């Protein structure tokens, strides 16, 4: 608990230290109020309800009860309100840190991770982790209340109070065993929660394929199996939690039974009054409530510890390396690729590649699937570290250039279209200030103005999740407009028309030509008819550069490019 509080929770609750202080202080106040309320039970029964009690005595007792109630109202409100405030703020802070960390992780991390697990970490684990603070406050407040109630019981009758000390070891044993079992199982609960979240995310994002292949039953069975595993994991934890509570109550009932028998003989012997007995019983009954809440807090703390382990595993992951110091703002001369070899882990995808691209050139990368074309685009963007060979921009190795500056040089139009579930203009300008004139220019360049003007709210129309309310061609034209607004020196076209029908492809191709202008273009092309006018075409096969030249030169060689071109013409 100390490690969880000091090293993990403290950084998130420290900004609210004043509220933490008052929350803890009000714990003492609430415990004291409870003790004072119990202290009024004996005079209430011995004098207040006695036939010979005076009106003054009754009024004084009633006033004391009312006064404690009035004091309890603000104390309880501010204690629990501030407790919730700190917990929710801590949740927001740790969730922000987790999401910010995920944004800084390398692309390779996401290839081996499940989206649902990461969503579960960001939403569920953060809330459970921050809930550890509430559990810690409960572990402070409830023992204070228990000590006060024991003190009141001891004051009422010290001999009967010894019963509490007899049952204490049993309660500690129950808490220890249940807390350990919950902690051990909590990792499984969160793992299965992540799997369930992933299945839901996967099922919703694949709705077109699900309907097209009549896979509703298959997708639902995957969801149901994940849900059953999550249910089983939850029930293992619930079994331990719910078994602990009645055990505590059973031990309490045994104690009560013994107390009643023992108290009967003491009252008969005149050693104890009815008021003293009821005062003792009230203290003992109230003592069981903080014990129960202590048990629950112990379980929640175990859950928070397990959640913190998963979150700090993410925090400890190595971030995307950005060791560059160069502030390159513009592309001046050339991109030179020398002896470049790259692997994702199993076999080289690019092998000893040597290419030079001069400013203003339009070059294409062609080849069969798996030849390394898109991988080269990823390396130019700095998405993966270069281990063998080099890529230089104007004589600077790209690992020596700050990632932000490197990526500003390139404008990407990819086959993997992504639009935010937001308005058209927000998707185009993103985090830059909006400008109506530039917006008009971008839409004109991308041949998008005509269809955007017909949208229900024009540029203020919400495009849907990943642009679902638009056609494929419309989506791609918006990404072209977005690339135009970036004003990048080098344009990367990564099979930008591969998923489009012929008519849409023609419009998008015209938009790409408009966008290109006199800029440097590096295009990954699958339809070779679109690159016949390019300055250089690099033909790749199994990661190697096997040919280079312009369209006419390569066709005259009658080698790999000619085969690819003839194949594309037939298709």
Rounded alpha-carbon distances, angstroms, from residue 570 to 301, 555, 566: 66, 16, 6
Confidence category of residue 5, pLDDT binned at 50, 70, 90:
low
Strand partners, 544: 541
Rounded alpha-carbon distances, angstroms, from residue 529 to 107, 126, 339, 526, 537: 32, 52, 30, 9, 12
Q: Which residues of 470-490 are buried (b: 16+ CB within 10 A; e: fewer)?
A: bebbbbbbbbbbbbbbbebbb
Q: Degrees (nearest 5) of the Cα angle 252, 256, 258?
A: 120
CA distance 88 to 130: 7
Q: Degrees (nearest 5) of the Cα angle 382, 385, 389?
A: 105
Would the pLDDT of 497 be above 70? no
CA distance 260 to 421: 67
SS3 call for 549: strand
CA distance 550 to 362: 10
Alpha carbon 285 to chain centroid distance? 42
pLDDT at 141: 84
pLDDT at 500: 60
Would the pLDDT of 116 be above 60? yes
Would the pLDDT of 339 be above 90? yes
pLDDT at 476: 84
Would the pLDDT of 499 be above 60? no
Strand partners, 462: 423
Would the pLDDT of 213 be above 70? no
- Tens-place pLDDT, residues 541-552: 888 999 999 888
Q: Tell me the average pLDDT across 535-561.
A: 89
pLDDT at 49: 65
Would the pLDDT of 3 be above 70? no
Would the pLDDT of 366 be above 70? yes
pLDDT at 32: 86
Would the pLDDT of 571 be above 60? no
- Tens-place pLDDT, residues 418-433: 888 889 888 888 888 8
pLDDT at 510: 76
- Tens-place pLDDT, residues 15-47: 888 988 998 899 889 888 887 887 777 777 666
Residue count of the chain: 571
CA distance 68 to 147: 19
Confidence category of residue 268, pLDDT binned at 50, 70, 90:
confident
Largest CA distance in the chain: 122
Residue 68: left (phi > 0), alpha (psi -120 to 50), or beta? alpha
Q: Tell me the average pLDDT across 334-353.
A: 90
- Name the one residue in this structure whose structure tokens are 């034209």: 477
Would the pLDDT of 180 be above 80? no
pLDDT at 389: 92
Q: Tell me the average pLDDT across 201-222.
A: 74
Alpha carbon 359 to chain centroid distance? 42
Would the pLDDT of 2 be above 70? no
CA distance 367 to 539: 6
Structure tokens at 310: 């998963």
Would the pLDDT of 195 be above 90? no
Would the pLDDT of 501 be above 60? no
Residue 247: left (phi > 0), alpha (psi -120 to 50), or beta? alpha
Task: Give the 3-state secondary structure of 468-509.
Answer: CCCCHHHHHHHHHHHHHHHCCCEEEEECCCCCCCHHHHHHHH
Mean pLDDT comparison of 112-126, 136-150, 399-413, 515-529, highest-scoring range: 399-413
Would the pLDDT of 171 be above 60? yes
CA distance 407 to 380: 8
DSSP state of 543: T
Would the pLDDT of 205 be above 80? no
CA distance 131 to 412: 42
Structure tokens at 354: 């040597």
- Name the one residue in this structure whose structure tokens are 């230089």: 392
pLDDT at 53: 66
SS3 call for 447: coil
pLDDT at 212: 63
Mean pLDDT (the chain, rounded): 82
Q: Degrees (nearest 5) of the Cα angle 496, 357, 478?
A: 25
Would the pLDDT of 208 be above 80? no
DSSP states of 285-347: HHHHHHHHHHHHHHHHHHHHHHHHHHHHHHHTSPPPP----B---S--SEEEEEEEEEESSSS
Q: Tell me the average pLDDT across 172-201.
A: 77
Q: Do residues 194 and 256 make contact, with C-beta atoms less than 8 angstroms apart?
A: no
The H or E element containing residue 539 is strand 536-541
Confidence category of residue 391, pLDDT binned at 50, 70, 90:
very high
Q: Which residues contact 131 (CB under 8 A, 6 or more apart)?
A: 87, 300, 303, 304
> Beta-strand (E) ranges in 345-440?
348-358, 362-366, 388-393, 396-397, 410-414
The pTM is what? Answer: 0.79
Q: Tell me the average pLDDT across 502-515.
A: 71
Confidence category of residue 4, pLDDT binned at 50, 70, 90:
low
**How many helices (H) does the chain have, and how many strands (E)?**
21, 10
Q: Which residues of 308-320 are buried (b: 16+ CB within 10 A; e: fewer)?
A: bbbbeebeeeeeb
Confidence category of residue 397, pLDDT binned at 50, 70, 90:
very high
Rounded alpha-carbon distances, angstroms, from residue 174 to 180, 233, 366: 10, 21, 68
């Amino acid at each position: 608990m100390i490690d969880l509080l000091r090293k993990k929770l403290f950084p998130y609750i420290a900004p609210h230290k004043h509220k933490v202080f008052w929350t803890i202080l009000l714990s003492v106040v609430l415990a004291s109020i409870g003790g004072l309320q119990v202290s009024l039970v004996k005079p209430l029964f011995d004098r207040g309800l006695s036939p010979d009690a005076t009106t003054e005595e009754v009024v004084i007792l009633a006033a004391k009860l009312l006064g404690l109630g009035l004091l309890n109202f603000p104390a309880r409100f501010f204690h629990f309100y501030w407790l919730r405030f700190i917990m929710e703020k801590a949740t927001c802070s740790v969730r922000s840190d987790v999401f910010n960390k995920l944004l800084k992780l390398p692309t390779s991390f996401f290839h081996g991770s499940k989206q649902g697990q990461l969503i579960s970490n960001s939403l569920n684990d953060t809330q459970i982790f921050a809930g550890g603070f509430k559990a810690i406050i409960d572990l402070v407040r409830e023992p204070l209340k228990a000590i006060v109630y024991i003190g009141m019981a001891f004051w009422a009758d010290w001999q009967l109070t010894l019963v509490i000390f007899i049952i204490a070891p049993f309660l500690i044993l129950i808490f220890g065993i249940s807390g350990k079992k919950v902690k051990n199982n909590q990792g499984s609960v969160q793992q299965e929660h992540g799997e369930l979240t992933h299945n839901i995310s996967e099922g919703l994002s694949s709705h077109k394929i699900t309907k097209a292949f009549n896979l509703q039953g298959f997708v639902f069975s995957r969801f149901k199996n994940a849900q059953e595993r999550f249910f089983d994991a939850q029930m293992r934890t619930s079994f331990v939690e719910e078994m602990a509570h009645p055990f505590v109550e059973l031990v309490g009932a045994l104690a009560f039974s013994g107390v009643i028998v023992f108290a009967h003989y003491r009252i008969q012997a005149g050693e104890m009054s009815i008021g003293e007995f009821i005062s003792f019983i009230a203290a003992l009954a109230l003592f069981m409530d903080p014990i129960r809440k202590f048990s629950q807090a112990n379980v929640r703390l175990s859950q928070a510890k397990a959640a913190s382990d998963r979150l700090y595993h993410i925090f400890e992951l190595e971030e995307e390396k950005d060791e560059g110091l160069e502030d390159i703002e513009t592309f001046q001369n050339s991109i030179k690729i020398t002896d470049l070899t790259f692997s994702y882990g199993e076999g080289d995808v690019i092998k000893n590649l040597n290419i030079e691209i001069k400013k203003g050139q339009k070059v294409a990368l062609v080849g069969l699937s798996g030849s390394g074309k898109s991988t080269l685009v990823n390396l130019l963007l700095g998405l993966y570290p270069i281990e063998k060979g080099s890529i230089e921009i104007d004589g600077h190795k790209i690992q020596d250039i700050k990632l932000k500056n490197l990526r500003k040089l390139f404008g990407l139009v990819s086959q993997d279209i992504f639009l935010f579930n937001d308005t058209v203009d927000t998707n185009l300008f993103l985090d830059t200030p909006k400008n109506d004139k530039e917006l008009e220019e971008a839409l004109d360049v991308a041949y998008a103005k005509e269809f955007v003007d017909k949208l229900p709210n024009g540029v203020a129309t919400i495009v849907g999740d990943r642009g679902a309310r638009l056609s494929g061609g419309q989506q791609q034209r918006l990404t072209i407009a977005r690339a135009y607004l970036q004003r990048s020196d080098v344009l990367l076209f990564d099979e930008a028309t591969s998923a489009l029908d012929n008519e849409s492809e023609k419009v998008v191709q015209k938009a790409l030509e408009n966008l290109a202008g006199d800029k440097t273009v590096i295009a990954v092309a699958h339809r070779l008819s679109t690159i016949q006018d390019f300055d250089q075409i690099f033909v790749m096969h199994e990661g190697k550069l096997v040919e280079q030249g312009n369209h006419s030169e390569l066709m005259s060689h009658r080698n790999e490019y000619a085969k690819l071109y003839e194949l594309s013409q037939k298709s």
